[in-house]
Chain A
Amino acid sequence: MFRRLLLPVIFLTLGYGFWLSEEFKTIAAGVAVFLFGMISLEEGFKTFTGGTLEKILRKSTSNTPKSMLFGVVTTSIMQSSSLVSVITISFLSAGLLELTSAIGIIFGANLGTTTGAWLVAGFGLKVNLSAYAMPMLVFGVILMFQQARHLKGSGYVLAGLGFLFLGIHYMKEGFDTFGQGINLAEYAMTGYGGVFAFAGIGILATVVMQSSHATLVLTLTALAAQQISYENALAIAIGSNIGTTITAIIGALGSGVNGRRLAVAHLVFNLSTGLIAILGIFQLIIVVSWISSRLGITADNYTLQLAVFHSLFNIIGIIVMLPLMGLLVKLLEKLMPIEEPEIERPMYLNESLEEVPDAATEAVRNETIRLYDIAVDVITNGLSIQREVFQSGKKARYVIRKSKEVIDNDIEDLYERKIKALYGAIVEFIIHTRGGYAKGALKEELNALRGAGQHVVEAVKGVKHLRKNLLRALKSDNVYLIKEYNKLRFLIVRVLREIEASRSTPEGDTQVIPLQLDPLKLEIEEKINGISSGLDRSIRKNLVNVRSATSLMNDISYCKDTCWDLIEAGLVLFSSSNRVDQTAEQSVALDEHEIAAIIETPHGEPQP
C-alpha cells in the first residue's frame, strides 16, 4: 500500500514544487542528473567486474582489516557503496567470501562513502564543476558508443562523473538563487528535537532517492548556500547513513540468506553508529571543531566540518562494532540459518533393510515407483500441463486441449532437487546392497530396477530439452508449430496414460503388461514417422522456417526417446510381481527394431 502510494505522492509534490518555484525545479533537476550520473558510474564499473575487481577482492579480503580497507578504497574510488554491497553479496552467495569478511567490507564501505562528502565539500563547491562536466560528458558518450568493452565501460564512468558534476552544479545554482528569495534556515530547529526531525528527513530523502551520497551532496550544497543550519545538516548526515541501510534491506529481500544476513549486519552497524552520533552530537561537534582546527579548516567552513563529522562518527561506529563483530556473525548465523534446498529424500530405503535381501529389493522397487510418480509430475509440468488437468483421468486429447497456458516453472531445479537427488539415493542403496549380499535373481532384479530408474531420469531429461522450444512455440502465433508441438505433448501424455492404465489393472487379471504395451510402441513409431514426414511438407509449404523446423526435428527425437524411456521404465516397474513371469514376458516384448520391422511390412500381408 505504502509503496503504491509513494510514487504518486512524490510526483504530486514535485509537480507542485515545480509550479511554485523555478529554483526548486533547478535543484530537483540537479538531484536527478546526479542520480543518473551515479547509475552511469555503477554501470561503467560493472563492466570491469568481469575479472579485475574479483581478483582484487579475493586477494584483499583474507582478514578483517584487509576487508575493511578494501571497502574503504573501492567505495572511495567508485563513490558507490551500493555497488560494493552488490558485489560483496554476490561473492558471499557464491561462497567465495566469509560472512566476517563481507561485514568487514561493508564497515569499510561506510567509511569510504564519507570521502564523497570530502570531495564535494573540499573541491566540488569551490570550483565551477560544469566546466569539467561538459567535456567529460562529450568524451564519455563517444566512448559509450565504442564496441570494446573496456572503452565502453570507461565511457560510462566518464559520463557518470560528468553527470555527477553537472548535478552538483545545478544543485548549487538552485540553492544560490533560492537563497535570494526564501531563507530555509528560518525553519532550523535546535536541540534534540531538531536532531531527530532532521535525521528523519535524512532517512526519508535517502530512501526516496535510493542514495545517501545524493542526500549528502544536497545537504552540502544547501549548507554552502546557508539554507540549512550546521547542526541540522549534521542530523541529516546521520539520517542518510541510516536510510542507506533501508535501501540495502529492500535490495536484500530478494537475495539468499547470506544477502539478508549482510543487510541485517549493515542495519545493525548503521543504526548503532547513528544512535551514538545522535546521542553524542553536541559532544561530537566540539571534537569536530577541534579536529578541524588541527587540520586547518576555518571555523566558518561548515561544509568541510560536515565531512569531518561524517568520517568521525563512522570511525567511532567501526571502533565500537569491530570487537562485537564475531558475536554479530554468530548471532546472524543462528537467527538466519542457511536453508537446505528441499531435496527429495527416500521414503522406503533405510539401512536396516540391507540385512534382508528380499525386503531391500522390494523397497528399491517401491522407491523407484515413487521416483516414476514424481517424474510424471515433473514431466507434465515441463509439458505445461496443469496437474489437475492431467489427474482428471480424461483422455490425452482432452488434456492437451485444456493445456494452452504456458507454465513457466523451473524444471531444471525440479530435476536437480527431486529426480536426481532421489535417483542418487536409490543407486547408492543398490550399490551397498548388491555389494553386500544380493546374488542371482535378486542381483538381476536390482540391476533391472536401477536401469528403470535411469530410464525415468532420461525421460525427464528428454522433456527438459524439449521444453525450451515447446514453450517458445506455445507463446508464438505460429498455428502450425503449436499443432506439431501439441502432437508431441499428446504422445507423451498418451504413454503416461497407458502405463497408468496398465499398472492399475486389478490383481489376478491375466493381462500381460510388457506385451500389452507393444501396440503403444507401434503407435508411437507410426505417429513419430507421421510428424517427421509432415515436417518436410511444411517446410516446402513455408508453414515453418528452417530454424524452427530443425528445432522441431530435434524435439521429435527427444519426444520419441522420452516415450521409449517411460515404457522401458514401466515394463520393469509395473509388470508381474512374479520375477520369473516378468522375465518371460520381457523376453517376448518387442524392441525398437522389431517394431520398425512391423511398420515396414505392408498392411494385409498374411501372418504366419
Chain B
Amino acid sequence: MSVKSLLEKLNILLSEEHREQLAKYKSLKKVLRALRREKAALKESLATTENEAARKDIDSRLKIVSAQRKKGLKVLKKLKSERNNKP
C-alpha cells in the first residue's frame, strides 16, 4: 500500500462524516437486532395463543415489525454501499 492511499484511509478514518456514518450503521444494526428478537417473540406467542382477538393483535404487530425490519435492512444496505463506494 502506497503512502498516498494509506494517508487517504487515515483521512477517512479521522473525518467527522465517516465517523457519523459508522455510528449510524452501528445504531441501525442495534435496532434491527432488537426487531429480530421482537419478531421471534411475536411468532412464538402467535403459535401458542388461541384467542382470536389476541391472535389478530399479535398478527398486526408481527406485520409491523416485519415491515420495519424490511425497511431497516434496505437502509442498512444503502449505508453499506455508500461506505464501500467511498474512495
Contact = CB atoms under 8 A, between A and B. Distances in A.
B20 A441 contact: yes
Contact of A601 (B16, B30, B63): B63
B53 to A, nearest CB: 12
B77 interface: no
B24 A583 contact: yes
B62 A607 contact: yes
A588 B27 contact: no
Interface stretch (A28-36, A455-463, A589-597): A589-597
B69 to A, nearest CB: 8
A589 B70 CA distance: 11
Given A580-B20, A583-B24, A603-B56, A590 B64 contact: yes
B30 A584 contact: yes
Nearest to A581: B27
B64 A588 contact: no
Contact of A512 (B16, B17, B34, B67): B34
A15 interface: no
A357 to B, nearest CB: 14
A590 B62 contact: no
Contacts of B72: 587-588
B35 A604 contact: no
B27 A583 contact: yes
B44 to A, nearest CB: 13
Contacts of B34: 510, 512
B68 interface: yes
A435 interface: no
B31 interface: yes
Contacts of A584: 24, 27-28, 30-31
Given A519-B61, A587-B75, A588-B31, A598 B24 contact: no
B23 interface: yes
A587 B66 contact: no
Contacts of A608: 66, 70
B6 to A, nearest CB: 26
B68 A515 contact: yes
Given A518-B68, A589-B68, A440 B75 contact: no
Nearest to A598: B63
B64 A519 contact: yes
Nearest to A580: B23
B80 interface: no
B28 A588 contact: yes
A295 to B, nearest CB: 96
A498 interface: no
B9 interface: no
Contacts of B35: 515, 588
| Main secondary structure on A side of the interface with B | helix
Nearest to B20: A441
Given A580-B20, A580-B24, A598 B64 contact: yes
Contacts of A603: 56, 59-60
A589 B71 CA distance: 8
Nearest to B69: A588
Nearest to A526: B60
A515 B27 contact: no
Contacts of B30: 581, 584
Which one of B34, B67, B72 has the greatest number of beta carbons of chain A within 10 Å?
B67
A484 B75 CA distance: 40
Contacts of B23: 580
A73 interface: no
Given A580-B24, A588-B75, A512 B63 contact: no
Nearest to A440: B16
Given A522-B64, A603-B56, A607-B66, A588 B71 contact: yes
Interface string A502-526: 0000000010100100110010000
A328 to B, nearest CB: 67
Contacts of B39: 607
Interface of B: 16-17, 20, 23-24, 27-28, 30-32, 34-35, 39, 43, 56, 59-64, 66-72, 75
Given A590-B64, A598-B64, A608-B70, 16 more contacts: A440-B17, A440-B20, A512-B31, A515-B35, A515-B68, A518-B68, A519-B61, A584-B28, A585-B31, A587-B28, A588-B28, A588-B68, A588-B69, A588-B72, A604-B59, A607-B43
22 contacts: A440-B16, A441-B20, A512-B31, A512-B34, A519-B64, A581-B27, A581-B30, A581-B31, A583-B24, A585-B31, A587-B28, A587-B71, A587-B72, A588-B35, A590-B67, A598-B60, A598-B63, A598-B64, A598-B67, A601-B63, A603-B56, A608-B66
Interface of A: 440-441, 510, 512, 515, 518-519, 522, 578, 580-581, 583-585, 587-590, 594, 597-598, 601, 603-604, 607-608
- Which 5 pairs from chain A and chain B are nearest by CB? A584-B27, A588-B72, A584-B28, A607-B66, A580-B23
